[in-house]
């Protein structure tokens, strides 16, 4: 069997959960079937085909579309041009597997042009992220359109949680029998508790600290975490690690909040995997106060490092974090509830240790990439 993955993110160009998902799923599936990846060309990569256990083909967006009338239009047209480039070459495979709205349209093209089976994994849904209209303007209407066209063309759609499945049916009217729930996974050998004092020293981090790690987006609830920091006990800092900003002006807004808080350390850069694991491993509590989250892979990573998690009772988080056992779930947008839950864990070392141990066992039992790949492979076989 051969499967072609269409993805906007692929190493070394990974900045969110979808990219992490594709990386590990393709690596695990490649032990069993042939995998080819089609992904955009970036400044860090070469257009030359990279062959190993996985063949990687990188495609460049059209230059003349880079001078669009607005940043949102430029993002949209860049994505559309890469989608067309993906299907320029003959697609010879059994199944095409697309990821996110950035490549869903290419999945539709591939099915129509080359008569292949089509599946898409839904990592998030455009209609559930209305704040994106701030960054994309009217182009947001077309990102939602592309997602709709791509998902409705699929033979099967993969939801990463039960809530994600309900959202797919609500937003795009896709029949329940066409949707399969397969969660995200984690490399349980790599993500485990491994403290590294030299990395803490490198970033001037001292214990105890609460950790927020995620994309710089309103979706991730970073401003609720910042607001909750004012209620942390004396001597406890909030360490905020963010990647690429979703919209113009977010960095400046967060910078003002951080400077006025006084007990926040902000690391505004993409960290290496080893650095991230070290930060998880040494924190007292990991916080993930997302407003919308189909899954929330960062919670899994923290749990794998034996850390208690305080997150929100939204989306797929409810399938991952067991309230009262591996952490606490609070209402989205409530910095007060968030602070209370964090402080409850900080005040009870036995509770924190117990939640960390339970979280690790939960991840080992339910969320290994081997288990996720097995479910995905079974779905491929069913489709064929």
Sole residue written with tokens 């490399």: 187
Convert the chain into a string of H (helix), E (strand) and C (coil).
CEEEEEECCECCECCCHHHHHHHHHHHHHCCCCEEEEEEECCCCCCCCCECCCEEEEEECCCHHHCCCCCHHHHHHHHHHHHHHHHCCCCCCCCEEEEECHHHHHHHHHHHHHHCCEEEEEECCCHHHCCCHHHHHCCHHHHHHHHHHHHHHCCCEEEECCHHHHHHHHHHHCCCHHHEEECCCCECCCCCCCCCCHHHHHHCCCCCCEEEEEEEECHHHCHHHHHHHHHHCCCCCEEEEEEEEECCCCHHHHHHHHHHHHCCEEEEECCCCHHHHHHHHHHCCEEEECCCCCCCCHHHHHHHHCCCCEEEECCCCHHHHCCECCCEEEECCCCHHHHHHHHHHHHCCHHHHHHHHHHHHHHHHHHCEHHHHHHHHHHHHHHHC
Q: What per-residue confidence (pLDDT) applies to 350?
A: 97
The Cα 331–Cα 345 span in angstroms is 17
Q: Tell me if 150 sits within 8 A of 181, measured CB to CB.
A: no
Tokens coding 303: 């749990």
Q: What per-residue confidence (pLDDT) applies to 195?
A: 96
Question: Exposed, middle or buried by CB within 10 Å (0-12, 13-18, 19+), for 46?
Answer: exposed
What pLDDT tens digit does each residue of the chain (384 aa) get?
999 999 999 998 888 788 989 999 999 999 999 999 999 998 776 666 777 789 999 999 988 877 777 888 888 999 999 999 999 999 999 999 999 999 999 999 999 999 999 999 999 899 988 878 877 888 999 999 999 999 999 999 999 988 899 999 999 999 999 999 999 898 899 999 999 999 999 999 999 999 999 888 888 999 999 999 999 999 999 999 997 777 778 889 999 999 988 899 999 998 999 999 999 999 999 999 999 888 888 999 999 999 999 999 998 898 889 999 999 999 999 999 999 999 999 999 999 999 999 999 999 988 999 999 999 999 999 999
Q: Tell me if 384 sits within 8 A of 155, measured CB to CB.
A: no
Q: What per-residue confidence (pLDDT) applies to 244?
A: 77
Distance of alpha carbon 41 from its chain centroid, rounded?
Answer: 20
Q: What per-residue confidence (pLDDT) applies to 249?
A: 84
**Domains of the chain by start residue, with CATH:** 2-185+368-383 (3.40.50.2000), 197-366 (3.40.50.2000)
Backbone angles phi and psi of 334, in degrees to 5: -105, 95
Q: Which residues contact 368 (CB under 8 A, 6 or more apart)?
A: 185, 186, 188
Q: What per-residue confidence (pLDDT) applies to 120?
A: 98
Distance of alpha carbon 191 from its chain centroid, rounded?
Answer: 16
Q: What per-residue confidence (pLDDT) applies to 247?
A: 77
Q: Which residues contact 54 (CB under 8 A, 6 or more apart)?
A: 26, 27, 30, 35, 36, 37
User: Please, what is the end-to-end C-alpha distance for the chain in angstroms?
Assistant: 10
Q: What per-residue confidence (pLDDT) applies to 64?
A: 81
Q: What per-residue confidence (pLDDT) applies to 134?
A: 77
How many C-beta atoms lie closer than 10 Å to residue 31's C-beta? 10
Sole residue written with tokens 């989250």: 293
Q: Which residues contact 49 (CB under 8 A, 6 or more apart)?
A: 55, 56, 57
């Amino acid at each position: 069997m051969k499967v072609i993955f269409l993805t906007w993110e692929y190493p070394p160009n990974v900045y969110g959960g979808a990219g992490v998902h594709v990386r590990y799923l393709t690596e695990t599936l490649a032990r069993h079937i042939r995998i080819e990846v089609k992904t955009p060309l970036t400044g860090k990569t070469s257009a030359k085909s990279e062959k190993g256990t996985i063949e990687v083909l990188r495609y460049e967006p059209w230059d003349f579309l880079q001078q669009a009338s607005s940043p949102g239009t430029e993002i949209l047209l860049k994505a559309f041009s890469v989608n067309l480039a993906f299907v320029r070459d003959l697609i010879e495979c059994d199944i095409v597997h697309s990821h996110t709205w950035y490549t869903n349209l290419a999945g539709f093209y591939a099915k129509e042009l080359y008569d292949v089976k089509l599946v898409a994994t839904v990592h998030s849904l455009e209609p559930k992220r209305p704040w994106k209209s701030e960054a994309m303007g009217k182009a947001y209407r077309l990102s939602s359109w592309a997602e709709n066209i791509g998902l409705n063309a699929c033979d099967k759609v993969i939801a990463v949680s039960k809530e994600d499945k309900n959202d797919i049916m609500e937003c795009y009217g896709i029949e329940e029998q066409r949707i399969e729930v397969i969660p995200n996974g984690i490399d349980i050998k790599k993500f485990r508790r491994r403290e590294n004092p030299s990395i803490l020293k490198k970033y001037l981090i001292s214990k105890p600290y609460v950790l927020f790690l995620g994309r710089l987006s309103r979706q991730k609830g970073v401003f609720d975490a910042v607001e909750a920091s004012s209620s942390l006990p004396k001597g406890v800092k909030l360490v905020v690690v963010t990647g690429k900003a979703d919209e113009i002006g977010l960095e400046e807004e967060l910078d003002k909040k951080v400077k006025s808080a006084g007990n926040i350390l902000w690391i505004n850069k993409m960290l290496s995997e080893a650095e991230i694991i070290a930060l998880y491993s040494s924190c007292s509590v990991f916080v993930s106060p997302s407003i919308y989250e189909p899954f929330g892979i960062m919670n899994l990573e923290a749990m794998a490092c034996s850390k208690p998690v305080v997150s929100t009772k939204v989306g797929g988080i409810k399938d991952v974090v067991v309230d009262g056992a591996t952490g606490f779930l609070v209402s989205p947008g409530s910095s007060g509830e968030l602070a209370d839950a964090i402080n409850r864990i900080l005040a009870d070392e036995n509770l924190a240790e117990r939640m960390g141990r339970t979280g690790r066992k939960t991840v080992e039992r339910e969320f290994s990439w081997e288990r996720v790949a097995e479910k995905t492979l079974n779905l491929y076989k069913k489709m064929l």
